Structures are given as structure tokens and as C-alpha cells.
Amino acid sequence: MYGWHLKILRVNLTTKKVTQEDVDPKIARDYLGGRGWAIHYLYKEMDPMADPLSPENILIFATGPLTATPAPTGNRYMVVTKSPLTGALAHSNSGGEFPTWMKRTGFDMFIFEGKSPEPVYLFVNEDQVEVRSAAHVWGKDTHETTDILKAETSQDARVACIGQAGENLALMAAIMNDKHRAAARSGVGAVMGSKNLKAVVAMGKKNPKLYDSAKMVSLSVNTSKNVGVDVKKGSNMRIYGTSYVPQVTNTLGILPTRNFLQGTFEHVNNIDGDALKNQYLIRHTPCYRCPLSCGRLTEVPDGKYKGKGEGPEYETISSLGTGCGVSDLAALLKANYLCNEYGMDTITTGMTIAAAMEMYEKGYISEEIIGMPLKFGDHDAMIEMIRKMAYREGFGNDLAQGSYRLAEKYGHPEIAVTTRKQEFPGYDPRGSQGMGLLYATSNKGASHMEGDVAYEEVFGVPVKENPLTTEGKPELVKHFEDSFALMDSSGLCVFVAIRYAFSKDRMILPERLAEMMNFSTGANYTPEEALKAAERVYNLERMFLLKAGSTEDTLPYRMLHEPLPDGPAKGKVVELDKMLPEFYKLRGWDEKGVPTKEKLMELGLPL
């Protein structure tokens, strides 16, 4: 077989038993890889009602058929499990180098079951698979852990690990790889912590065999030229990454500001991409085989926020920055570095602190409970809250549960801006209606990575849609969700896939991804089959969600009942009821959002 190894490494952490399994080639083809394979196994093997932090939960690391191939940005993996933050499905994506190294072990997927009685890490060097003690790195941050584990295994290995937040089961804990890259969302790091699994260390030389290596290489070279070498487009990402987006969303009035009380931030110039470029940028830092290179190394050289690391991305600026009303860029960078070191999702971390700030200012939570004043814009208090969250210390224990549980505990659930208990990313859906439908229906709770229609509503890729209208948005959301399921399953980064394959003709994306996957696997997908497989993945994820008991597709109070007070979207709320029925119809789901028997049969899914 080509492209895929068709091999799974299964690790039972309770018994320390390690087994190798073959993957049925039909399952491999029908579910694509990565996110698709993972939901197939998760749905088959675990009770969706299981407690996410119990040994019954299953944690899956999954690469795709383009991971570790010459495909540009074929460097991604997905972490799939049941989320302790949402109680729904989690699938979090990351790049860097670890995913490629993981696939070079000769396995496409690692499945972790059970719970180790003591801290351990997994070391995999092809057929050498060892569950080793992690007692000496337990309690250490992700950077130190990475350095120590590479020193004792091999500098040729790559490390994915949790920090203190994951060990302490903070519900926004991420799994960090290569120190700075995060499978961030939905608390996947807490699941790893609940299993006493501190790290996964991978190395090997087993690159997947390619069905048509010459065509793959030629396609890769051409794509890289088109995507990355174009000076204007390429240099834009290399200098700014996503850090210039605050200027865009601020212009459109959808920049989350002070816990979504506003859509514009008066100090945006202090924390945008140009401020970063002029003060703290060192150089761009690409993921493996990436022609875009949006990652950036930054440094605050001295002072009380001294530190060095990668970022911030837009999502960090819109949560720890504008979300909290913070306009001090050095403090924002420090907060970003700390989240990476403790191993925390910056979106949920920032927006949970933002909710606490609003509750403090409104008098719903006292200074006595928090232990200090917590006003919007108080960057030093924000940094202290991050530390308390990671260690679940004092009020940090409340924060470590996320904004939904925090707001509910203190009697004001209307303050939490979440769906399925997960915090919104950086696009206020009152001024981007399609994003509203996406957040409401997403199987994993609010996430732009579920099907980022902001590409059309905000960025004009491939065409600019009016973000304030609802017409055509149900179809747009479905198209993006299925496209993202395809990209996530293939092992490509959406940044390149979108630039390479998004077109006014919506069949171009499945055409180009099918072509790439065929060069890799020889599976001979037609574009229609590739898209159908993505829809199969999306519907199976829906079935998992329904069986996990999280059914209502809605939005928080603020989005439906509190009009934006400022900016171009002033006066708007999300008109969800105008979009939801049409969306269900397009999906082949009933009026409650449940896939119909006909749809399940069409996709070959279990009834």
C-alpha cells in the first residue's frame, strides 16, 4: 500500500500492553485518514457517554495520507478524543515537525486507552516501542520537558507533550509539539493528563511509499511556487503570519473586544502585526515543508515581560489581547509564551479571563474571591490568572473550568460567549453571520477550524461575501465544513490547501486534494468520492456528538439578544433562525439536526 502505512500502534496505558494492528484498506479509503480514521475508531470503540477524564476515554493521534509526503505542508496531525471542556467530540490540529516524525515511525495512528497508574511517556523509534517513566519530567513545563526527553532519547526525535495545565486537568489544556505548536482546543491536554501520559516521543525513517512519486514531487514544486514564492503573498505571511488580522477584523467591526461587549478596539495599533514587526519580531519559523511560513519567532529582550517564543497568532491577539482589553504588546507576548510553556489553549484561556473581567467589573465576582482586582486591560492581573489557571490555584480553579462553568457558578450564564461550552474564536458572528451558523452547529463547539467561512466573509478567499447577510450562508457553511473535514483528514494544513485549491468553482478543492491523495495512495479517488468521504466523516462526528448527549445547535445570549454597539455591524445580532432550517435541509438532517436514515444509508454509515 502507498501513502498510508495502514498500521496503528495501540497502547493500553493501564496494562502497558502495546500492539500493532493493520487497517482494513476499505476503511482507510472510505475515511481518508487523520480526522476521518480517528472518528471511525472512536465511534466504534468507545461509549460516547463516558467521562472524558476517565480511563474509558480514548485518545487518538492521527496523521493523514499526505503527512510526511512531499505535499507542501503535508505536516499535520489531529488529536481526536472526547472533550472534557465540551463533553462533545474534540479534534485539534497541529503542524510543526512532530507529525511528520510520528508518521516516519511506520504508524499512521497512535491509540491510547486506559490510564497509567504513574506518569509515563511513550517512546517510538519504528518497532522499538517503550512506555517509560516520566516521573522526572512531571511538573515541568513543555519546553523543559521537550529538552530533557530529546536529551535522553535522541536529538533526532520530536516531542509532543503536556505542561502543568494538562497534568492538573485544566479544561483548556493543550498538547504542545516542538515546543511552540499546539493541538490546542477542547482540553485535549487534560485528557492526556488524566491518563498520566506526559509525552510522546517519535522518530524513524519510514517515509510512506508513494504511488506516483514523480507526479507528487512535480505537483509539490508547482504548488510551492504558486503559493509561497509569489513575493507579495509569501512575504506577507512570512512577516506578519496572522498577526495583521486584527486590523482587518477591527475594520469590519468584528474584533472580539472586552468579552464581545464591543466589536472594535481603540488601541488596535498597539498590538497589531506592524507593532509586532517593528518591536519584537526576530524571524519567520516554518513548519516542515511549508512554503508559506506563517510562524514567527519573537522576543521581548528585557524588562518584566522578558521572554522568547513563537507567536502570537491572530487568535491569541483577539483573546488575550483585545478580548481582555489588553493593549500592552510585551505583556501580551509574555502571556502567549506562558500559555505555550504551561500548555494552554490561548483562545479559551483568554476568553475565560475576559469573562471573569466582565463579571468583576459588573460586581458579580468580588475582589476577595479573585484575590486581586481584575479589570479589563489589567495585563499584570491577566498574566497572574494564567499561572493560577495552570496550577488550579485559588480562583484559578474556577477559571480552569472555562467561561461557561465560571459564569454559571457565579449566577450569570449570559456572560459566557460559548457554544457547547467552548469559547468563540476571533470573529464576532453578529458581524459575520455565516460564522454564527458555523459556531452554532459545529460538532466540537465554537471553532473557526470547523469550517472557516471567514475566508469568504472577511478575507475574500476565493470571493468576498457580504458578512452581514444570511443569504447563501447555509450552503457556504456546509461547503466549508466538508472541505475542512477533507483537508484535516488528508494531513495538509488548511492555509496552503485554501490558497492552492479554493476557487469560485467549488469542485476544484476536492479535485486538487483527490489528485494529491491519489499520487500519494493510488486509491484513485474521484473528486466526488473525496468530497463524499469528507461528508461521511462529518456525519459520523455528528452521530458521536448526538450519542454524547450534546444536541442543541444554538448561540449564547449575547449573540442572539445583545446588538453590537459599535462599528460597521452596529445594531446586528445573529439571525440564526433564518439559516438553521435551510442548513439542516442541505445536510440531510431532520428539524432537530439529526442525520436522517436516508442520509446515513447514502454515506454507508451505521444506522
Partner 1 sequence: MMIRVKLIANYREALPPEAKNGVVELDVPDGTTVYDAISRFDIPLNDESVIVLNGITVDMNTTLIEGDMVTAFSAIAGG
Q: Which residues bind partner 1 (CB under 8 A)?
A: 232-233, 235-237, 239-240, 242, 244-245, 247-248, 251-253, 269, 273-274, 313-315, 426, 448, 452, 454-455, 458-468, 495, 498-499, 567-569
**252/417 with CB nearer partner 1:** 252
Strand order of the sheet with strand 307-310? 281-284, 296-300, 307-310
Q: Residue 85 CB, nearest distance to partner 1 (Å)?
A: 21
- In the complex with partner 1, the residue whose CB is nearer, 162 or 453, is 453
Q: Which is nearer to partner 1, 571 or 606 (CB)?
A: 571
CB of 560 to partner 1, least distance (A): 22
Closer of 244 and 288 to partner 1 (Cβ): 244
CA 589, 83, 96, 110 dihedral sign is negative
Of 313 and 378, which has the nearer Cβ to partner 1? 313
Question: Distance between CA 135 and CA 121 in Å, rounded?
Answer: 9
Least spacing, CB of residue 443 vs partner 1, in Å: 21
- Smallest separation (angstroms) from partner 1 to the CB of 247: 5
**b (16+ CB within 10 A) / e for 159-180:** bbbbbbbbbbbbbbbbbbbbbb
Q: Please report which residue ranges of 393-526 form alpha helices under DSSP H.
A: 396-399, 403-409, 433-441, 454-457, 473-490, 494-501, 508-521
Give the shortest CB-434-to-partner 1 separation in angstroms. 13
Q: What is the DSSP-derived secondary structure letter of residue 589?
A: B
Least CB distance from residue 253 to partner 1, whole Å?
5
Three-state SS for 507-534 is: CHHHHHHHHHHHHHHCCCCCHHHHHHHH
Distance CA 143, CA 270 (A): 28
Q: What is the DSSP secondary structure assignment for residue 3, as one 8-state letter? A: S
In a 3-state reduction of DSSP, which class is residue 294?
Answer: coil
CB of 7 to partner 1, least distance (A): 34
Q: Looking at beta carbons only, is 215 or 570 nearer to partner 1?
A: 570
List residues bridging with 91 in a β-sheet: 80
Quote the CA–CA distance of 132 and 302 in Å, as a whole number: 38
| Comparison of 128 and 269: residue with beta carbon closer to partner 1 | 269
Neighbours of 118 (CB within 10 A): 9
Give the C-alpha separation, 374 to 358, whole Å. Answer: 9
Instruction: Quote the least distance from Cβ 311 to partner 1, whole Å.
Output: 12
Q: Shortest distance, CB of residue 265 to partner 1, whole angstroms?
A: 13
By C-beta, is 122 or 449 nearer to partner 1?
449
Nearer to partner 1, 378 or 457 (CB): 457
In 3D, which of 423, 411, 418, 417 has the Cα closest to residue 364?
411
The DSSP secondary-structure symbol of 331 reads: H
